[in-house]
Amino acid sequence: MFKNLHELIAQMPDEKTCREWLAKQRWNGKPVCPHCGFEGKIYVIEGGKKYKCGSANCYKKFSVTVGTFLEGSNIPINKWLMAIYVCTAHKKGISSYQLGKDIGVTQKSAWFLLHRIRALMDERVEQPMKGIVEADETYMGRKYRSDYVGLSPEEIDYKLKTPQNKKGAVLGIVERSTGNVNVKAFSKIKRDELTDYVRSKVEEGSSLHTDESSLYRKLQYNGYGRETVTHSRKEFVKTSETGVRVHCNTVEAFWSVMKRGVHGIYHQISYKHLQQYCNEFSFRHNHRHLKDYEKFEIVFKGIVGRLPYKQLVAPKK
């Protein structure tokens, strides 16, 4: 396994080498028919580019990419591998324009490629969070800067508070002991929806640290201890009666990285794809202690399955 991007490029110089490596990673040297699941005799044809199922009920031809996110793609496999490595390694992501230049594909191809990779990064923390859990919400599914050129600070503040400009609310919950984060995108955060999501992710009896928002009020009467800091009064850290430091700084540090990525790399993100961007940033955050090649391996384990282009560009329901 390669330890850095230089080694990846050196070890994967052509399509034949990539296919052999992919077959080893996917089947451990023993091909399995993706159509019928037959594990017996599999014929190697077309110089190793394709296989043929030996089952009397199948006999279908297939390649190593069938049934994976690489299926039907005209982009060489080594470029896919480079894209996965770069996307998982860059702390604030990479734009489709830059990725297209780096690996030699069009911006449109790079955009689709990145979204397929983000689909592989959809790995939310499934174990219930417990102990001290921080929760905070923010808004990201809108255009930045260009919408507010020439406006006064008061006018910008008014536009941000209007409902039509708040489409694309994002809730982040962080387990303080591990630092792991779960991020959920909403069209608009409503108290009942927020309550249901927190209850599904946080163990009952945990201590919830939030700001003074009334969105979390229902949770303190439903099995959660709630401690708050009043941001409107410039209160960001306080000590509770039991001596615990109350703050939302951990989740806000995550927002800081994500917003810098949005502002500096992507510039703007639509609500339609907001959850996919949240998955990308939360994946890198939750695996921040791993080496770059280890994050690459985790993403690559999910190669089975694919995101069709028609599904990606279809209107959001």
144 and 118 share a domain?
Answer: no
Residue 209 lies in a domain: yes
- DSSP secondary structure string, 159-194? HHHSGGG--SEEEEEEETTT--EEEEEESS--HHHH
What is the distance between the alpha carbons of residues 136 and 128, in angstroms, rounded to a whole number? 17
Higher pLDDT, 89 or 159: 89
Q: Residues 118, 144: contact at Cβ < 8 Å? A: no
The pLDDT of 269-275, averaged and rounded, is 87
Same domain, 138 and 250: yes
**Other CB atoms closer than 10 Å to residue 181's CB: what's the count?**
25
Residue 174 in this model has a pLDDT that exceeds 90: yes
Structural contact between residues 167 and 187, judged by C-beta atoms closer than 8 angstroms: yes
Does the pLDDT of residue 164 top 90, yes or no?
no
pLDDT for res 272: 85
Report, as an integer, the average pLDDT of 283-293: 94
Looking at the fold, whether 139 and 280 belong to one and the same domain comes out as: yes
Residue 278 forms part of a structural domain? yes
Q: What is the pLDDT of residue 159?
A: 64
Domain count, the chain: 2
317 located within any domain: no
pLDDT digit string (tens) for 220-241? Answer: 878 899 999 999 899 999 998 8
What are the CA-CA distances from residue 60 to residues 28, 33, 34, 66, 71 (Å)? 21, 8, 10, 12, 16
pLDDT at 72: 86
List the one residue out of 241, 314, 292, 286 whose CA is nearest residue 129.
Answer: 286
Encoding tokens for residue 228? 């708050």
- 110 with 160, same domain: the answer is no
What does the pLDDT read at residue 291?
A: 94
Higher-pLDDT residue of 272 and 202 is 202
* pTM for the predicted model, two decimal places: 0.86
Residue 170 and residue 201 in one domain: yes
Beta strands in 31-165 (DSSP E): 42-45, 50-53, 61-62, 132-139
At 175, the pLDDT band (50, 70, 90 cuts) reads very high
105 and 146 in a common domain: no
Residue 47 predicted with pLDDT over 70 = yes
Domain containing residue 239? 132-286
Q: What is the pLDDT of residue 316?
A: 65
- Percent of the chain past pLDDT 90, that is, above it, reads 64
- Calculate the CA 44 to chain-centre distance: 36
pLDDT at 167: 62
Which residue bears the tokens 């009920």?
57
What per-residue string of b and e applies to 184-206 under the rule 16 or more CB within 10 Å gives b? Answer: bbbeebeeebbbebbbebbeeeb
With beta carbons less than 8 A apart as the criterion, state whether 23 and 29 touch.
yes
Residues 155 and 219 occupy one common structural domain: yes
Residue 83 belongs to a domain: yes
**Mean pLDDT on 19-40:** 91
pLDDT band at residue 139, thresholds of 50, 70 and 90?
confident
- Rounded Cα gap, residues 191 and 203, in angstroms: 18
Please tell me whether residues 119 and 139 are part of one structural domain.
Answer: no
**Contact (CB, 8 A) for 224 and 205:** yes
